[in-house]
Structure formats: structure tokens, C-alpha cells
Structure 1
Amino acid sequence: MSVQLWLSTQASPLARKAEEFERMGWDGVAYTDSQNRAGDSYVALTVAALTTSRIQLAVGVTNPQTRHAAVTACAAASIQVESGGRMSLGIGRGDSALAFLGLRPASVDTLRGYVRSVQTYLRGEAVSMAEARGDATQVIDDRLPLADTPTVSQLLWLRKGPPVPKVPVFVAASGPRAIRVAAEHADRVMLAVGADPERVRWGIGLARAVRPDVKIGLFVNVVVHEDRAAALSMASGRIATFARFSTMHGTVNGPASDSQRAVFAALTADFQMTRHGRHGTQNERLTLGFAERFAVLGPAPYCLDRLVELADLGVDRFHIIGPVPRFERAARQRFVDELMGPLRDKT
């Protein structure tokens, strides 16, 4: 099985970094969609589409609340056309993008409906007006004189545009209900459960029970370094962020030992959203033992063995999350130099 290696990073529309990522050999780049903390992901992807020729592109990930399903589908489909079919769309319940608007993550039911609507729009099919309106109250009625009005909501231009494949949709999921929604309605399940094989096996089992042939990807924190404690210091902000996804409502999703549950509980209680992905109280709650299982930290041969083990479970795409920005460039280069080739050879 050939494993795809994607880079997960923040949108930086003016830096034209996708050209560099393509030269480095990455299979894809996924830009986060968190409007208060980074540049706009769709702007970054448009720049990437126009300045690269091979690398795959994705939003990794958007959420059901900051953009209407039709708006999201239209943006993704537009980049699909401009990139010649290299676009993917990631959707999750939402985290920092919503927190900085004073909102909590969308419910799993909302996620389900949103993914279904986006998929319908991307196929060029019609969404009912009731579904398109959702909870909006400013609806067209007799107070707005019109000779006629649309009876369905549809991306009309998509049916007339250049023939490109439908944009694949993946759903980022940590809990059992979200994993099942992803398996049922998305083209790929992207697990965000850490790199502990037992937890990954659990997530894959839930997804494959819904659809045995569903494609499985994994968000995984990786830092290649001889000193695991130093690697944890570099990556703790982002490890804490991804670990919290499995326990953000106070209940740990997936298998965990007593010591791991204690760390998960501390992350829930002490997470500082204003320090999301950076150094904060939550980082101090991470133990090296927890981080060594949840993430992949250590020398290249060790990291290689860990990632091959996960690929053997059925993961065919890794979205690699590196350390905090000031260490990110060097860590990314080290992954490419020491791990990318051997990992492809072994998978």
C-alpha cells in the first residue's frame, strides 16, 4: 500500500509556500481554516493552485458554522477547476475558528447535515430550499415582490464548467459518532485520535463497521529528533491541541490507560484557547510517556517504525503536524531528508 504524505500547516497566502512544499516532495498540503489566527485558507489554496502543478491541495479543516454549505462547496469547486483537479475539502466540527467567535464546536448532527449538503452541491445536484435555509428567519416571502424565485439551491455554474472530478470530501473525527458520520457521508475518514496503535485501531474499526472500504487517513504529530524530551518541548503546543480533541467535552474517546486518562483530564481542565497551538498551561500537563504514545517523537528509525506500524493498520494518508512555528521549518526539512524516502520505500 502506498502512503500519501501531506503537510498540515497554517494558511499563508502571501508566502507562496506551496511551491516549496512541492519541491520538497510532499504529496499534499492542507491549510487550516481559522480566520482569526491565520490567513484565509481559500486564498492560500488559490495561490497554490496557480503556482504549482503536482501537489494536492486541501482545506484541513473547515467547519459547519463560518460558511454556508453552498459557499464552501463553491470555493472548493472553484479551486478544483483552477488546479486541474487537485483539490480536497476537509470538514470538522470546528475548534479555534469558532472559539474566537465565541462559539462552541458544531454538534455531530449539524456536522452530518452539513457534510451531506456540501456533497450534494459538489455533485452539481440540488439541495432543497428548506435544507439550504436551515434556521435562517429572513426568508423570501410576500414582503419581497418577485415574479419568481428559485425552488432549489444548486451550483448552476458547476454543471456548465470544465469537466473536472468531484472534489473529494474528508471529515476530521475524534469521537465515535463523528467517525461514523465521516464513514457514512465522506469520501475519507481523517482520524484525529493520536498515534497510539490501539487508539488508531479503535477508530478504524468504527469506520470500517459502517463502510468496509472507506479510506482512512490520520493526523499525526511527528518530530524527528534524537532527544524525545527536546522533541516534546518543540511540539507540545500542537500535541496538546490535538490530544484535547479526544476529550474536549470531558469524556475520553477511545481506549486509554489510567495514566493517559489523567493527562486527558488535565488538558480538558487547563486548556487555554488563547494559547491554542502555542505554549500554555495545557502544555505543562503533557508527560513524556503520554506524548511518546500520542505523538511520534524520536530518531528517524524509531519514527519510521511507528509510522509503518500505523500504515499496516490501514492508514493510507498521513497529515503531518510539526512543532510550533519557530521550529517548524527545520523539523519539516528533517522529516523530508531522513524519513520521507524510507517511509515511502516501506509502504
Structure 2
Amino acid sequence: MRGTTPRVGLALYPTQPINDMVQAAKVAEHHSFSTLWIGDSQNIWRESFTAMGAIAHSTNRIGIATGVSNVVTRHLATVAGGFASLQEMAPGRVIAGLGTGDSSLATIGSAPMRTNDLERAVGMLRSLTSGEGVTLDTGPAQVRITYASARTAVPVHLAASGPKMLDLAGRAADGVVLLAGADPDAIRRALARVTSGEVTAGRQVGSVYRVLWLPIAVEDDSAQARRLVRPHVARTALRPHPVALPAELVQEVSELRRRYDYYQHMSSSAGHAEHVSAELTARFAVAGDPGEVLAQMRELCRLPIDEIALVPFAADESSRITTAVRCLELFEAIAA
């Protein structure tokens, strides 16, 4: 798709009951979103594999992916079995979105995975979902999934923001979920790191599917739209980045790090979001009235990415899908 208008995916955090998530998935499929990315954080959101199973059963075409999961809160074999089972239910529609762990690990007092451990897990997950045996750290025995085969293999996409993870995605993943915000220069630098990883591994440049994770809000009241995206901006700003933040924002990020509460992760009522400035918001999200959002999206669509995964924010959680459809219509205006 590079060189044309990117596909448009939809990312939803399971903050609502799963039946509501299924209804949102049906609306997303009706409006031809390419992929539905489901957040995974066991202490604060509904269980992601349960949600994905219900969505797989209730839809026919839309891609289904974790946005993103990890292999710490669930054993690697359990994660592989979950993805293989989903692929069996919804052939060709499933993506394993993985990361080093964020709120899912923080809320149980665990540190994120090390990059080299995640790299090894990517290879083993591919093998397990394909029906091949692997040797785990728990012992010399070969571990396999009895019903898995080439037909249940799933592509692995890695969430990445800092240089090490971007490079790893380029070297080892089928796709990358770019957590680089909305600043075109930062996104270009992130893409360059992915390309560098592809070159290092001897892979064809552009072989890794590039997804831009984009928090977004569109309201007739621009100030309201910017307020709505602040919870996502608060967390994204704390990550490693492909380009250094301006000096005037470093202190703000330091204060956010001190105040951040993972049990209010991405919540519209998060207290720490009150400390996100307009400058930081503009760097890490697209928000404003329809005209402002259209102008920002038009610029992002010029970047060499395959898919933009919209992370919609609205005053009412049940209105997130309405916001997503409104944004999709703006994308369609760009493509026309």
C-alpha cells in the first residue's frame, strides 16, 4: 500500500463489556476498517483473548489483532495457543501484536521484558503457531501445540518507539506498530530505524508492514478534542523515542513520569492527564475540529506507512466508534 493512501485500522481498549466490544467490531467491519486492534491489560481492561474470540465469531472480514500483548502475564505456550485457536476460527485474519509489556506488567509489579528476550519469543511464537516444536527455558523437552499447523501460523507485529525496539522490528518482525506520536519528523526517523533493521538482517527494505498508532479526537470544539486525547499522550510521552524531545518539554515529561498511575492507564478520568500541555498533545496526537484533523491527517498520509490505526477518544466511551467513523470519512476525503 505504500505510495498510496494507507489502510485505516481501529484500536480499541476493552474498557467496555465484551458484548459492547462485539457491537463496535461489527460497526467497524461494516465501515471497512482493515484491522481491529484490541488492547491487552488484564488488571484494568476486559480479557483480550475472550474479546477477540467473540469478535472472531461475530465478524467475517476484519483483521483481529492484539494491540498489544506480551508473553509474561501469559506463558508463551498459552499465548501461542490463543493465537493459533483464533487463526483457526478466523483464517487469515489474525495478527499477534506483541511488546515488552506496559500497564499489564506495571500493575502486577513486574518490569518490561528485555529486548533480546522478546526477540527470542518472536521466533518461538512463530514456530509454535505453525505446529513446530521449540525448547523453552523451563527444560530440554520439546514443546509444541498439537493442533497447530501452517494454516494456524500468525504474523507477529512488534510495538516500538525507541531505537532498539524499532531496529528489532525491522530485523525480526512481520510488522511494526509505531508508537511515535503524530510528529512527521519523529515518524520518519522511526521508519528509518525500522529500515536499518531490515538492512542489518538482509531483508528486503519495506518487507515489514508499517502501522502508525494514532490517538485521535475530532470535535467541533477543538479544545475539547485536545483534552480528550491527553490520557494517551501522557503515556506515549514517557516512552523512548527516535528523536529527542525539545528541552522545554523534558521537565513536563519528568513530572508526568512521577505522577503516572497505571490503574488509570488511558482513562479519560486520569488525574495525571491534567498535566499534559498543548505542546505535548500536538506532538503525540491528532486532535481538533474536522478541518484541523483533516489537515494533520493529510500530512501523515504522505508518509511511507501501510496502515494508520486510529485510537479514538470521545467524551463517552460508547461514542468512540462514532468518532472513529467520523475520522474514517476524513480519510476517505483525502483518498478521493
Give TM-score, length-normalised by structure 1.
Answer: 0.85
Partner of 1:242: 236
Letter in structure 2 aligned against 1:305: A
SS at match of 1:240: helix
Within the candidate set 219, 228, 232, 2:222 is matched to 228
2:253 aligned with 1:264, yes or no? yes
Q: Please report how far the alpha carbon of residue 286 of structure 1 lies from its aligned counterpart in structure 2 after TM superposition.
A: 0.9
Q: Does 1:22 align with 2:9?
A: no
Map 1:276-287; keep pairs closer than 5 Å. Answer: 276-278=265-267, 279-287=269-277
Q: CA separation in 2, counterparts of 1:329 and 1:4? A: 24
Cα distance, 1:68–1:328 mapped onto 2, change above 3 Å: same
Aligned-partner residue type, residue 284 of structure 1: E
Letter in 1 for 2:9: W
Residues 189 and 242 in structure 2, CA contact (< 8 A), matched pair in contact too: no
Matched with 1:144 is none
Change (3 A) 1:84 1:119: closer
Q: Counterparts of 2:94 and 2:66 in 1: how far apart (Å)?
A: 8
Specify every segment of 5 or more residues in structure 2 that has no aligned partner in the other structure, as ranges.
Answer: 199-204
- Aligned to 2:151, the other structure's residue is in SS state coil
Are 1:5 and 2:8 matched, yes or no? yes
1:2 CA drift (Å)? 4.1
Same amino acid, percent of matched pairs: 26
Q: Is 2:167 the counterpart of 1:180?
A: yes
- 1:89 deviates by 0.8
- Judged with a 3 Å threshold, the aligned counterparts in structure 2 of structure 1 residues 6 and 194 are, in CA distance, closer, same or farther, namely same
Q: 1:297 aligns with which of 287, 292, 300?
A: 287
Alignment of 1:296-335 (within 5 A): 296-323=286-313, 326-335=315-324
* Counterpart for residue 209 of structure 2: 215
Q: Check 1:81–1:331 CA distance in 2 against 1; reply closer, same or farther (3 A cut).
A: closer
For 1:94-113, list aligned pairs within 5 A: 94-113=101-120
Q: CA deviation at 1:345?
A: 5.0
Larger radius of gyration: 1
Partner residue of 1:77? 84
C-alpha distance in structure 2 between counterparts of 1:158 and 1:2, whole Å = 35
- The answer (yes or no) to whether the contact 1:217–1:318 under 8 Å persists in 2 is yes
Q: Which runs of 5+ in 1 are unaligned?
A: 141-150, 247-251
What code does the residue aligned with 1:171 have?
L
Instruction: Report the alpha carbon displacement of residue 52 of structure 1 after superposing the two structures with TM.
Output: 0.8
How far apart, CA to CA, are the structure 1 residues paired with 2:243 and 2:152? 35
User: In structure 1, what is the Cα distance between the partners aligned to 2:303 and 2:250?
Assistant: 24
Correspondences of 1:11-160 after superposition (within 5 Å): 11=14, 12-15=17-20, 16-17=22-23, 18-128=25-135, 132=136, 134=137, 136=138, 151-159=141-149
Rounded Cα–Cα distance in structure 2 between residues aligned with 1:228 and 1:299: 5
- Superimposed CA distance per residue, residues 221-274 of structure 1 (whole angstroms, 9 cap, x where no aligned partner): 10012333211222222221222233xxxxx65232222323322222221223
Q: Does the residue aligned with 1:8 lie in a helix, a strand or coil? A: strand
| Deviation (angstroms), 1:171 | 0.4
1:254 and 2:263 equivalent?
no
Map 1:186-197; keep pairs closer than 5 Å.
Answer: 186-197=173-184
Query: TM-score w.r.t. structure 2 length?
Result: 0.88
Provide the rounded CA distance (Å) in 1 between the counterparts of 2:222 and 2:248: 19
Name the SS of the counterpart of 1:85 in structure 2.
Answer: coil
Distance 1:109 1:166 in 2: 22
The number of equivalent residue pairs is: 320
